[in-house]
Chains A and B, each alone.
Chain A
Amino acid sequence: MPLIIVSSDNFKQGDEIGQKVAGVLGYRYVGRELLTWVASENQVSEEDLARALDDPPGLLARRARRQRMLGYIEAACLNVLLDDNVVCHGLAAHLYVRAVSHALKVRIINEPEQRAEELSQAEGISLDKARKQVLRQTKDERRWSEEAYSLDQTDASLYDLVISLGTLELDKAVEIISDTVSYRKFQPMTYSRKLMQDKALAAGVRLKLMEQFPDIRVEANDGTVVAYIQSLKKDQRKKQEMVRQIAGELPGVRHVEVHIIRDLVGQAAQSSR
């Protein structure tokens, strides 16, 4: 049975919809609670993990740390999504579960004016100020996803369905989503399951190598892992061997290929010494 991935511009609403859909369909709900497990598994604080998902992009130095936190979350979430009948929200899965045909991706949005009115009432600020804050929130949301996954999460084309709660009520959105998963096209196929397994394997390999290679990019296909790392020419052999050894020890990995991306900045720094 399918996976449902919910993304929302309002965390509370997305969470409520996710839980209600899971309740209606009898699916498992995976939300921010997963962070407790991710934190203990990787010896990091739960707060840092949540911050990596919520905080707008900041200093360059914090970027590497955030990418590492997101790597932990991604690997854990993809492992959970290998099972069927899961509703997932709040873990940015809409940005890394792409092209998997049995995953229904839904975005829940609110009209900006309505968001501004709610914010103005909740925080006791003027409507004008609230409008500016809503604009800034949307911009931050876009910047966050572009920096972390090179995708704009406010772009409707990333989703199968975008539902505005401006006029449609939350329960109607639940009804629409619950009805959609019964469509034949969202049933898992051998190919879509394999794609999901490949993604989970690639995320697992990346997780193991992230400490040593923060910019590593990993692809997997049926047990063959292709890793892209940055390196100076002189370290190339050593690094390739290291990646092969670490990745090769992981279950499910049959063959490792390492591609070198020239570290032009490092090269320039070294030649100027």
Chain B
Amino acid sequence: MAIITISRGSYSKGREVAEKVAQRMGYQVLSRDVLLEASEQFHIPEVKLVRAIHDAPSVLERFTHGKYCYLTFIRAALAERAVQDNLVYHGLAGHLLLKGVPHVLKVRIIADLEARVAAEMKRENLSQGQARALLLKDDAERRKWTQSLYGVDPWDASLYDLVIHVDQLTVDDAVDFIVQAAGKECFKSTPEAQQKIQDMALACRVKAALAEDDCVDLAVTSEFGNVLVYTKQDDRRAHRLEEKLKPLAKRLPEINHLEVHTGQPFPPEAC
């Protein structure tokens, strides 16, 4: 069984594709619900999480770490759902939030701007100019968001396994392709892949718990429950971090061992 992430722009029929894929494969479909779950789990108003996943961080937010914390919570909620497998996630940055998980099929759905403008005009009762301006602004915001947080352009095709242009190809054709690709051996969940996603979920949980405790700017990895926390802070502050981690280790039974590493570069696979 697989995890499928579908990246899409507004009005590009990505939601329709995701829902049909989930229906055909008997998978759960997840999008904004992940924000609701994060909102309930970490007691953050949903509107703040929506803003965190939509608007690019402002200069001030780069210092206050508000967006960092919200994204950590969203990623933790998504990782919890991914552990259950058989999932279709459509929304912003699924392929980046689940980075490092081997059995994720990363798909992007694109559509012609004119078709998107027409769809928005019809749905929102806007003029062509208004609809176009709104879509272009939304696209620019999404690109800026991904670039500022992950340093990549979401329109770069090399981030995905499959990019499908819904124009000549219909929604049903796109569904066919995705189902066909998801059936491939490399997207099936193996015990190793399952272990990896469990480790990622645990690392995300630890990071979210630390973010709740105002510990930011750190990276967390986990391997079979052995958790490593990386920080750029000096030894004195790292010691304080270790103190904060002790009750956490007791609260989360999945943790076998906890270590804090200072002065080391963050590993690329870290949460």
Q: Is the CB of A164 within 8 A of B108?
A: no
Cα separation A159 to B160 with both chains bound (whole Å):
14
CB neighbours of A172 from chain B (8 A)? 181, 184
Most buried by A among B163, B169, B176, B184: B163
CB neighbours of B161 from chain A (8 A)? 163-164, 166-168
CB neighbours of A162 from chain B (8 A)? 157, 160, 162-164
Asked if A42 CB lies within 8 Å of chain B CBs, one says no
Minimum distance in angstroms from B187 CB to a CB of chain A: 7
Q: A121-173: which residues lie under 8 A (CB-CB) from chain B?
A: 154-157, 159-164, 166-169, 172
Q: Is the CB of A107 within 8 A of B157?
A: yes
Most buried by B among A107, A161, A166: A161
Asked if B79 CB lies within 8 Å of chain A CBs, one says no
CB neighbours of B155 from chain A (8 A)? 155-156
Contact flags A171-192 to B (C-beta < 8 A → 1, else 0): 0100110011001011000000
CB neighbours of B157 from chain A (8 A)? 107, 109, 154, 156, 162, 164
Q: Is the CB of A161 within 8 A of B110?
A: no
CB neighbours of B165 from chain A (8 A)? 156-157, 159-161
CB neighbours of B125 from chain A (8 A)? none
Q: Is the CB of B163 within 8 A of A156?
A: yes
Q: B107-162: which residues lie under 8 A (CB-CB) from chain A?
A: 108, 110, 112, 155, 157-158, 160-162
Q: Which residue of A lies closest to B180 (CB)?
A: A176
CB neighbours of A180 from chain B (8 A)? 169, 173, 177
Most buried by A among B112, B161, B176: B161
Asked if A230 CB lies within 8 Å of chain B CBs, one says no
Asked if A111 CB lies within 8 Å of chain B CBs, one says yes
Asked if A101 CB lies within 8 Å of chain B CBs, one says yes
CB neighbours of B168 from chain A (8 A)? 101, 104, 160, 185-186
Asked if B167 CB lies within 8 Å of chain A CBs, one says yes
Q: Is the CB of A164 within 8 A of B162?
A: yes
Interface residue from A111, A161, A166 paired with B177 (Cβ < 8 Å) = A161
Q: A76-105: which residues lie under 8 A (CB-CB) from chain B?
A: 101, 104
CB neighbours of B180 from chain A (8 A)? 175-176, 179
Most buried by A among B157, B164, B176, B184: B157
CB neighbours of B162 from chain A (8 A)? 161-164, 168
Asked if A23 CB lies within 8 Å of chain B CBs, one says no
Asked if B44 CB lies within 8 Å of chain A CBs, one says no
Minimum distance in angstroms from B40 CB to a CB of chain A: 34
Asked if A252 CB lies within 8 Å of chain B CBs, one says no
Asked if A112 CB lies within 8 Å of chain B CBs, one says yes
Cα separation A156 to B108 with both chains bound (whole Å):
10
CB neighbours of A110 from chain B (8 A)? 158
Q: Is the CB of B184 within 8 A of A160?
A: no
Q: B159-215: which residues lie under 8 A (CB-CB) from chain A?
A: 160-165, 167-170, 173, 176-177, 180-181, 184, 186-187
Most buried by A among B110, B168, B177, B184: B168
Q: Is the CB of A161 within 8 A of B169?
A: yes
Q: Which residue of A lies closest to B176 (CB)?
A: A179
Q: Which residue of B lies closest to A186 (CB)?
A: B168
Minimum distance in angstroms from B261 CB to a CB of chain A: 23
Q: Is the CB of A164 within 8 A of B160?
A: yes
Give 9 closest A-B pairs by Cβ, nearest first.
A162-B163, A156-B157, A156-B163, A162-B157, A164-B161, A160-B165, A185-B168, A167-B161, A160-B168
Extra 20 A-B pairs, beta carbons < 8 Å, given A156-B163, A168-B181: A109-B157, A111-B158, A155-B155, A157-B112, A160-B167, A161-B162, A161-B165, A162-B160, A164-B157, A164-B161, A167-B184, A168-B161, A168-B162, A168-B184, A172-B184, A180-B173, A183-B169, A185-B168, A185-B170, A186-B168
A-B CB contact pairs (8 Å), 14 listed: A101-B168, A109-B157, A109-B158, A156-B163, A157-B112, A159-B163, A161-B165, A161-B169, A164-B160, A167-B184, A176-B180, A180-B173, A183-B173, A185-B170
| B interface list, Cβ under 8 A from A | 105, 108, 110, 112, 155, 157-158, 160-165, 167-170, 173, 176-177, 180-181, 184, 186-187
